[in-house]
Structure 1
Amino acid sequence: KWEELYGANPSERSLSLRLAGIIERAYQQTGQRVVILVDEYDKPMLQAIGNEALQREFRNMLKPFYGVLKTLDGCIKFALLTGVTKFGKISVFSDLNNLDDISMRNTYVEICGVSEREIHENLEAELHEFAEAQELTYEALCSRLKENYDGYHFTHNSIGIYNPFSLLNAFKYKEISNYWFETGTPTYLVELLKRNHYDLERMAHVQTDADVLNSIYGDEDPIPVIFQSGYLTIKGYDKEFGLYRLGFPNREVEEGFIKFLVPFYTRLSKVEAPFEIQKFVKELRAGDVDSFFSRLRSFFADTPYELVSDLELHYQNVLFIIYKLLGFYVNAERHTSDGRIDLVLQTDRFIYVMEFKLDGTAEEAMAQINEKGYAQPFEKDSRQLFKIGVNFSNKTRNIEKWIVEKQS
């Protein structure tokens, strides 16, 4: 259509030459410099993750295409390119030195989202209608919206940004749901995690620096792509060392991402998982420890891909997924450092203090709970306390035994 409007040259056969011709003729014919907007510049590269030959082919096609932005700088007034990831500067945009990366600039933090100020300035009446529809107080609704959709930080010391897609759908339907996560599935991210044998526990509180956050996709570390894709965001900043602490931005992303992981790390399908989690939670709320651990055994059985050298990591990753899923419905806390408790789950009636061993014994796990005094902080609590020692067997690739001590 642009060539119909501004003309074409038969010698311009490649995409890059055709783009250059259009830009140049548009400028010459109108006397006005051109504005160029590119959305999802990285879509071909994302689709080719794991296929190096195809990535190289795409890169070789895109590099001269975007190189036009440099060669015709005098014909261009303004250009804005957006994408999920930064394959950019080293590969696709390696010919360009006139781009200004504004991804982590405080001045632009509100450019791609909605701030709390904007919500109250523009949607105050709708907030009250929404609260009434949900039978919540105005304050409670604002808190729910913040918990589910706020929390994006694109640089340190910046205001939180709400996901506009989810926020506006919530107002449209007057329902709080996982709107954004349902628009796409991050299969390529899970492939990265699996290929890198990544410890999921680290993902929830990883620390890194700006160079890593701004790096292009590589086999060494999946974190930059996960951060750039919006599944992790900046939660804190150590100015002295220039280190960023990352975490899930909000409940919508955390819950959606963890639930998405289930079929990749357990035998359960996406359809089965919610029902299993419901049963887990009901068993915890009822104090039915044996049923809970029998069900937990099934999470480790018949895993969908072979794990030999990484069995211990897989075991840790499944436990991480379980405790995260349970944490959306009960109070869950997990520590993995030496000398600290493995898992605490709390309901309105019960407290569960659990210690897990790999190729040890359930008795050793229980002894550690007692020797280290893991249950002491809860001994004055009115709820019933369960101390549970669990052993995971390398041989059977599953939970071998658990023992329970009840404390009234």
Structure 2
Amino acid sequence: MEQQQLKRCPIGVQTFEKVIEGNYLYIDKTEYIYRMAHGASNYYFLSRPRRFGKSLLVSTLHSYFAGKKELFKGLAIEKLETEWTEYPVLHFDMSLAKHVDKETLESMLDVQLFEHEKIYGKPERAVTLNDRMKTLIMRACEQTGRQVVVLIDEYDAPLLDVMHEEENLPVLRNVMRNFYSPLKACDPYLRFVFLTGITKFSQLSIFSELNNISNVSMDEPYAAICGITEEEMLERMSGHIECLAGALEMTCEETRLKLKEKYDGYHFTWPSPDIYNPFSLLNALERRKIDNYWFGSGTPTYLIEMLRKFHVLPSEVGHSMQAMASDFDAPTEKMESIVPLLYQSGYITIKDYDKLTELYTLDIPNREIRVGLMQSLLPNYLNRDTLRGKTTIGRMYGAIAHGDMDAALRLLQEFLSTIPYCDNTNYEGHYQQLFYIIFSLFGMYVDVEVRTPKGRVDVVMRTADTLYVIELKLGKDADAAMSQINLKNYPGRFALSGLPVVKVGVNFSAETHNIEKWVVEE
């Protein structure tokens, strides 16, 4: 009976009105909306990763500014707002304009303008997109007698997939710049402007011309405006966690820790509450299964392309990267490193801040992101035969979980012998990264180039009960790899870990591009 009374999780429901009227579970973010609506600025920009609740937030703003007081009954804003003025709202959703060319983009913008023009009309002289936007804002204000609210969701969506293309990016960027340009000229007619996105494109008019736009992406008062905090989860979702625990045959505490390891760990400023990925958490609770939901919804092609462009190795993603506050705000076209894009896209997050140096420490937020990212990068190291590769990795995990590294390496050797070798396999680093990806997919701690008093260990992996010290060679000898481990006493570096150390020497053949021989010593 208790399970039937639980509110449904709003999977894929991004309209505030539908969430409330459909009696879905809603995490109350209306206090933030009141704060923005009555803040010093009338122009706001918020950056958050995809599927982090931006669209629901924009829809909530729409209902609020449309004066739909009845939808906010029982929510925080009901006690804060006293006027509930109805404003004309122009709501644009740019998420519909992904993977498009110039003509398609202009057509989609035309359709969205037309929907509003059906209400407020369109002068014959307004032909271009920016003229139509300008006259639309002015007419809405004149006809209603109230200033206009403009909401633009995922303003950068048309540009993300072409950010690595020198030809297409300037073309589409010019279309979007013209579309947004009236926002400055129409300032007297505007009550509130709010834009969401992932990245910052400096040459768009909203950033180059609207110098009064308030970017609240890293402002502490708005740290939890999107996503679900641990406090919110425990307060509003305890019944759902109990049901999930029953499905998993675990205790509620074990289930909570599992959810934390899998979906928690985001911080968009420092200090910040722990924030869970809302898409993944809600899916897990609704489906009563812990899985990689955020990554399962699609890996952006732009991310993989930009990782290649900046020559970022898998082991370099996260791994205690550091950045200054200004780096997070770096214009996308002028990025000198992959760090801003990885952060804005949600693949790394803030883990610490040093007031003295003003440096933020960044790392991968949680296990879902680590495993999902490595799965996306795996094709680059297995020549795209990833279906069988994942199966092999699963079997390797089973072997290592039983303490049988010998069987795990034999499985990898058998698999590599069946696929054409990849490019760039003539250096040890390729195999080091392959091992890093595989061990990361196990969900175990793994690191490369680990410093010791006498040198660096190629790969270190730690399971629940064993620590593996692995030295790799290419075109040499596995015994030589083992000799190096012993000569430089690599295991001594990890004596305080409290775990037994297993030494592994592996040699890859320069001719076959496969494991030639290995030695395992306990």
Moved more, 153-162 or 180-189: 180-189
In the alignment, structure 1 residue 267 sits paired with structure 2 residue 383:
yes
Q: How does 1:8-407 map to 2 (within 5 A)?
A: 8-88=122-202, 93-205=207-319, 206-218=321-333, 220-297=336-413, 298-299=415-416, 302-304=420-422, 306-307=423-424, 311-326=427-442, 328=443, 330=444, 332-337=446-451, 339-346=455-462, 351-358=467-474, 361-376=477-492, 386-392=502-508, 397-404=513-520, 406-407=521-522
The residue aligned with 2:34 is: none
Using CA pairs below 8 Å that are at least 6 residues apart, which structure has the higher relative contact order?
2
SS at match of 1:48: coil
Moved more, 88-97 or 30-39: 88-97
Whether contact under 8 Å (1:70, 1:98) holds in the other structure is no
Output the amino acid matched with 2:346. G
How many Å separate the matches in 2 of 1:32 and 1:186? 40
SS at match of 1:266: coil
Moved more, 274-283 or 215-224: 215-224
SS at match of 1:365: helix
How many Å separate the matches in 2 of 1:398 and 1:280? 16
Shift of 1:376: 4.0
Shift of 1:270: 3.8
How many Å separate the matches in 1 of 2:514 and 2:493? 30
SS at match of 1:93: helix
Output the amino acid matched with 2:273. I
SS at match of 2:193: strand
Whether contact under 8 Å (2:176, 2:204) holds in the other structure is no
Shift of 1:348: 6.5
The aligned length equals 402
Shift of 1:286: 4.6
Shift of 1:21: 0.7
Shift of 1:163: 1.3
Output the amino acid matched with 2:330. S
Q: 1:336 to 1:73 in 2, by over 3 A?
A: same
Whether contact under 8 Å (2:130, 2:180) holds in the other structure is yes
Output the amino acid matched with 1:302. P
SS at match of 2:490: coil
Shift of 1:195: 2.4
TM-score by length of 1: 0.88
Shift of 1:340: 3.6
How many Å separate the matches in 1 of 2:498 and 2:189? 74
Whether contact under 8 Å (1:285, 1:349) holds in the other structure is no
How many Å separate the matches in 1 of 2:302 and 2:381? 15
SS at match of 2:293: coil
Output the amino acid matched with 2:359. L
Shift of 1:208: 1.6
How many Å separate the matches in 1 of 2:166 and 2:313? 25
Output the amino acid matched with 2:324. D
Q: 1:68 to 1:314 in 2, by over 3 A?
A: farther
How many Å separate the matches in 2 of 1:240 and 1:350? 38
Whether contact under 8 Å (1:63, 1:93) holds in the other structure is no
How many Å separate the matches in 2 of 1:46 and 1:348? 40
Q: Deviations over 1:37-88 (max 9, x none)?
A: 1111111111213322211111111112212111101111111111111224
How many Å separate the matches in 1 of 2:393 and 2:213? 47
SS at match of 2:215: coil
Moved more, 163-172 or 392-401: 392-401
Q: 1:280 to 1:226 in 2, by over 3 A?
A: same
Q: 1:13 to 1:181 in 2, by over 3 A?
A: same
How many Å separate the matches in 1 of 2:244 and 2:276? 17
Q: Deviations over 1:205-224 (max 9, x none)?
A: 21122222221224632221
Sequence identity of aligned pairs in percent?
A: 40
Output the amino acid matched with 2:507. N
Output the amino acid matched with 1:118. E
How many Å separate the matches in 2 of 1:126 and 1:67? 46
The residue aligned with 2:39 is: none
Moved more, 244-253 or 388-397: 388-397
Whether contact under 8 Å (2:399, 2:407) holds in the other structure is yes
How many Å separate the matches in 2 of 1:302 and 1:220? 34
Shift of 1:295: 3.8
Q: 1:11 to 1:250 in 2, by over 3 A?
A: same
Q: Unpaired runs of 5+ in structure 2?
A: 1-114
How many Å separate the matches in 2 of 1:348 and 1:157? 31
Q: Deviations over 1:181-240 (max 9, x none)?
A: 111222221111122221222212211222222212246322211111111111111221
Moved more, 145-154 or 205-214: 205-214
Whether contact under 8 Å (2:436, 2:459) holds in the other structure is no
Shift of 1:254: 1.4
Q: 1:399 to 1:63 in 2, by over 3 A?
A: same
Whether contact under 8 Å (2:461, 2:468) holds in the other structure is yes
Shift of 1:125: 2.8
TM-score by length of 2: 0.70
Shift of 1:351: 4.9
